[in-house]
Chains A and B, each alone.
Chain A
Amino acid sequence: MYRYDEFDAAFVRERTAQFSDQVRRRISGELSEDQFRPLRLMNGLYLQLHAYMLRVAVPYGTLSSRQMRMLAHLARTYDRGYGHFTTRQNIQYNWPKLRDIPSILADLASVEMHAIQTSGNCIRNVTTDQFAGAAADEIIDPRPVGEILRQWSSLHPEFTFLPRKFKIALTGSPNDRAAIKFHDIGLMAALNGAGEIGWSVYVGGGLGRTPMIGKLINAYVPHEHLLSYLESIMRVYNRYGRRDNKYKARIKILVHEEGLETIKAQVEEEFAQVRGGRLTLPQEELDRIGAYFAPPPFKSLPVAAIDIAREKILDAAYGSWLENNLHPHRVPGYVSVTISLKPIGAAPGDATDAQMEAVADLAERYSFDELRVSHEQNLVLPHVLVSDLPAVYVALVEAGLAEGNAGLISDMIACPGLDYCALANARSIPIAQEISRRFAAPERQKEIGALKIKISGCINACGHHHVGHIGILGVEKKGTELYQITVGGDGTEAAAIGKILGPGFEAEAVPAAIERLVEAYIARRQTPDEPFISAYRRLGDAPFKEALYGTA
């Protein structure tokens, strides 16, 4: 894992002191809310429906057990005993007091964490694959470059007042688990003709009220020129992105309106000027940062097969946990374990302080002290010995975190919705809870198979509903909450935006509508192994439209 050197530590310390002073000036009345607002937003502090909300960055989703324990401490000391892991691989605290913010930031700084640029119209926390550095299918660990991007984008003086927020995601695996094509910039590791690893750059993806799939702007940018290339994109966006309408200010609109070729030409022109300049990243420097992410001392083991069928007979719950919550590791004898934060009937992404402590203990004991946060709002123990799985499972059961539903219908993404968020038009969490209860039975979930449901409480799409195999969008119509259902979205490398098939449903009718979609799928799938999304692609809208609205 990356460790702060003196420079990094001093930087965060100065920034914390700076914001603490701004908080003090706000409390003393020296700053009005209007003046304080842009400052607090630069530091991840929102004013929500009921209280301030602090969003803490988890750079590229990587945490140590020490950091996780600090997050538990913050939940216990300054909040109501829990935190909320988000689709941005961050954690949010919903009830901190303004006067406590300086202490919270100082506590975070003590474990090399911060809340810098988790909001505001700047480059946000860089996100990546939750299995980075562990996955069997990756061609490069994306975290060293992620860390370099974190540094380059931190308080960048030129790009702090962009037209709108800016999100960068990267993946080192061709199987995209970081939804890179739905970010302002998406980076996917790529090989050039000589077999060298660099990056394919996608630009102009995003969700929100105008969902767009990112477009390939450059098929191969070598590491050494990556920062120059990104700075070129940022400069073109900062200068030419629309500022007249905040709903048309993201780079996706610029790319859409001007056309990819125009933007590409502008970026190339800028790149020609800065290429080879001070932003050039020498290989030694990449290696030096990369050394922080060196693989832990794995044991040399034979491939370990897990007899899931046998385990299922012995313990059905353990069996389905093994079946769903493990991800192949690049080192034989190891797996990555997804810790589901989606227990049946709970708020997706929430974890109590005790659960965070328990997870930290497990990471320390069984995963070389490493933890990950996934954009699907789960936690990950990246490097677990297959032989340790029973012990890990027992501990998770004790912590109430042993739900074996990763990737299944009850492993939903949901935004905080109207229960917390000032922007929301409708509740999301209660809808997620109802659906979760309806499909609670493990056999039923297994029968359905891989199915991603994503729920947003408003058009801003924090719950990624556009890329849910089934998406649910809460809207407000004539004073009541109504839910639009979309089908066919996909956030992976096979990126697709879900389609609305008809009018919305009232909250009570949503679970039944989902069930009808599921039934339509089960009835028509070619084999039990054909996933929902594949069946939808093969069958088209018609059967699903009929399932939702009946025959005309």
Chain B
Amino acid sequence: MGLPKLAITPAKPDKLRALGVIALNGMFDEMDALGVLRYAIEEVLPGDIAIVSSFGADSAVLLHLVSQVDRALPVYFLETGKHFAETLAYVETLRQRFGLTRVTALHPDPADVARFDPDGQLWERDPDSCCHIRKTEPLEPVTAQFGGWVTGRKRYQTAERGVLPHFELTSDDRIKINPLAYFSDSDVNAYKAQHGLPEHPLYDKGYKSIGCAPCTSVVAAGEDPRAGRWRGFNKKECGIHFDFNGAIAKPMIGQKNLWKDGAFTADPFRAWAETDSPETARYAHVPVDVFLRNRVAFLSNPHPIGLHVSPADQVEQVEADLLRFASIAIAFPAFTDGRGYSTARLLSERFGYTGEIRAVGDVLADQVPLMRRCGITAFVVTHEPTRRALESGQLATVNLFYQPVGTTEVPVGTRPFLRRAQ
């Protein structure tokens, strides 16, 4: 399934902002799910709204409501590759039954899967990261194209969702519509019965909230219906729903600052924080001194971590542990500080490190080719002209080299030091 043609510029939710979130939330009866949905699709964000559905136990209700307003509303399904076969069958059932014309499956980037989850066990080691590569990442390019989203979240589902309103303004200026916010478990069942909606094949087997197969378990009677999700992990949400009630928990879309493989992409890594723990940290660039002080704990930590190398750090000190790092960030606090070039060459040439080496900090466009030659493969760039130069591909390059540097340049001519970019 290819992506449908999408609106290029999201409509600004001016109407919503003019009314104010609170005023809008007061417009509809708590149980008027259809009214909320119709107003959102037809008045607030016409042509600029979509839905992400898990096609789980409760999804039928919301999709049925959608089909009554607009069967051509884009519906996205996160095909994580970890779903129950029953779920995949259920997608087809609902699509046909409701006549939905724009159901699209979103797949994780195979490169991410190969890199972060080569054995398919990431869900067990690090469920947050698993959700990240399978849900957050694939969804991002799509979310960027809509001004608003319809969700099926309900207040009763978890304590975190207890204050969920009909309309939310997210921290990245998008609107989330929660038509079922006030529906209880019995309201959902009543609606299903009233409209004769097909049940998820696993529902009768005790699954009340259904996500990916490895992270979904049967819920006992009286248990929170979502208790079967990520059972045993201190985890309630997959990361795509964090923002609610105007309270900013996590921006849905961070700025894409990581230039890698020819494009800006969302950065799975973040900087090390004081509050991080060596035993449980994940996707953080750990400063060399912090790593050395807590080496044993970091080595037994099962999550992907990175290394942050400051200009004065000696990478020789972590030579034996380089395989532990999924990414190494070399800091360039000022463009004039060239120590990182030596660091990069030591890592890539002498120590044979083949993971991501990224330059972080004050990087000028004209330095990018030199950094690449020294083994740097990714760039975290905030400098606007450098961003533009990377995006337009207008990097000042001289492709003939007088030095044998790096691991990919090929010898030319007779002089032993002449090289050319491969």
Contacts and interface: CB of A to CB of B under 8 A. Distances in A.
Q: A and B bound?
A: yes
Contact of B402 (A11, A14, A243, A289): A11
Interface string A124-158: 00000000000000000000000000011111111
B403 A281 contact: no
A15 B398 contact: yes
Contact of B342 (A239, A273, A280): A239
Given A35-B364, A279-B416, A161 B337 contact: yes
Contact of A151 (B336, B369, B412, B417): B417
Contacts of B401: 155, 157
B299 to A, nearest CB: 26
A18 B397 contact: yes
Contacts of A278: 404, 416-417
A121 interface: yes
Interface in B363-422: 364, 366-367, 369-371, 373-374, 385, 396-406, 412-418
Contacts of A289: 415
Contacts of A281: 416
Contacts of B397: 14, 18
B369 to A, nearest CB: 8
B414 A238 contact: no
Nearest to A42: B366
A154 B398 CA distance: 11
B270 interface: no
Nearest to B371: A157
Interface string A262-283: 0000000000010000111110
A238 B341 contact: yes
B99 interface: no
Contacts of B369: 157
Interface string A288-322: 11000000000000000000000000000000000
B339 interface: yes
Nearest to A30: B385
Interface string A178-220: 0000000000000000000000000000000000000000000
Interface string A46-84: 000000000000000000000000000000000000000
B399 A14 contact: yes
Nearest to B395: A18
Contacts of A516: none
A238 B345 CA distance: 12
A14 B398 contact: yes
B338 interface: yes
Contact of A239 (B339, B373, B417): B339
A30 B414 CA distance: 40
Interface in B334-369: 335-339, 341-343, 345, 350, 364, 366-367, 369
Given A7-B412, A152-B403, A243 B398 contact: no
Contacts of A154: 402
A285 B414 contact: yes
A66 to B, nearest CB: 24
Contacts of A227: 417
A196 B331 CA distance: 45
Given A11-B402, A238-B342, A22 B366 contact: yes
A235 B341 CA distance: 10
Interface residues of B, number: 38
B368 to A, nearest CB: 11
Contacts of B402: 11, 151-156
B417 A157 contact: no
B413 A273 contact: no
Nearest to A227: B417
A279 B338 contact: no
B416 A273 contact: no
A243 B337 contact: yes
B339 A238 contact: yes
Residues of B contacting A: mostly: loop
Given A11-B398, A238-B341, A160 B370 contact: yes
Given A7-B418, A11-B400, A161 B335 contact: yes
A160 B338 contact: yes
A18 B398 CA distance: 8
Contact of A38 (B335, B350, B404): B335
Contact-size category for A = 35 or more
Nearest to B413: A7
A146 to B, nearest CB: 14
A151 B415 contact: yes
A509 interface: no
Interface string A1-17: 00001010011001100
B341 A157 contact: yes
Contacts of A161: 335-338, 341, 367
A102 to B, nearest CB: 14
- In this complex, which of B338, B405, B406 has the most chain A Cβ atoms within 10 angstroms of its Cβ? B338
Given A14-B398, A279-B404, A157 B373 contact: yes
B400 A7 contact: yes
Contacts of B405: 156-158
Contacts of B338: 121, 158-163, 238
Nearest to B337: A243
Contacts of B417: 151-152, 227, 278-279
A506 interface: no
Given A18-B396, A243-B337, A288 B416 contact: no
Contacts of B412: 7
B268 to A, nearest CB: 28
Interface string B266-306: 00000000000000000000000000000000000000000
Nearest to B404: A278
A288 B374 contact: no
B398 A155 contact: yes
- In this complex, which of B311, B337, B403 has the most chain A Cβ atoms within 10 angstroms of its Cβ? B403
A398 interface: no
Contacts of B337: 161, 243
A285 B398 contact: no
A21 interface: yes
Contact of B366 (A39, A151, A153, A158): A39
Contacts of A235: 342
Contacts of A39: 366
A281 B417 CA distance: 8
A153 B337 CA distance: 18
B336 A285 contact: no
A346 to B, nearest CB: 38
Contacts of A121: 336, 338
B415 A285 contact: yes
A543 B197 CA distance: 113
Contacts of A279: 404, 416-417
A243 B311 CA distance: 10
B382 to A, nearest CB: 15
A31 B385 CA distance: 9
26 contacts: A11-B400, A14-B397, A14-B398, A14-B399, A18-B398, A22-B396, A35-B385, A38-B335, A38-B336, A38-B366, A152-B403, A157-B369, A157-B370, A157-B373, A158-B341, A160-B370, A161-B338, A235-B342, A238-B339, A238-B342, A243-B336, A243-B337, A243-B339, A279-B416, A285-B415, A288-B414
Given A18-B396, A161-B335, A243-B311, 11 more contacts: A7-B412, A11-B400, A14-B398, A15-B398, A152-B417, A158-B405, A160-B341, A161-B336, A163-B338, A243-B339, A288-B414
A-B pairs with lowest CB-CB distance, top 7: A161-B338, A278-B404, A157-B370, A157-B373, A14-B398, A151-B402, A158-B341
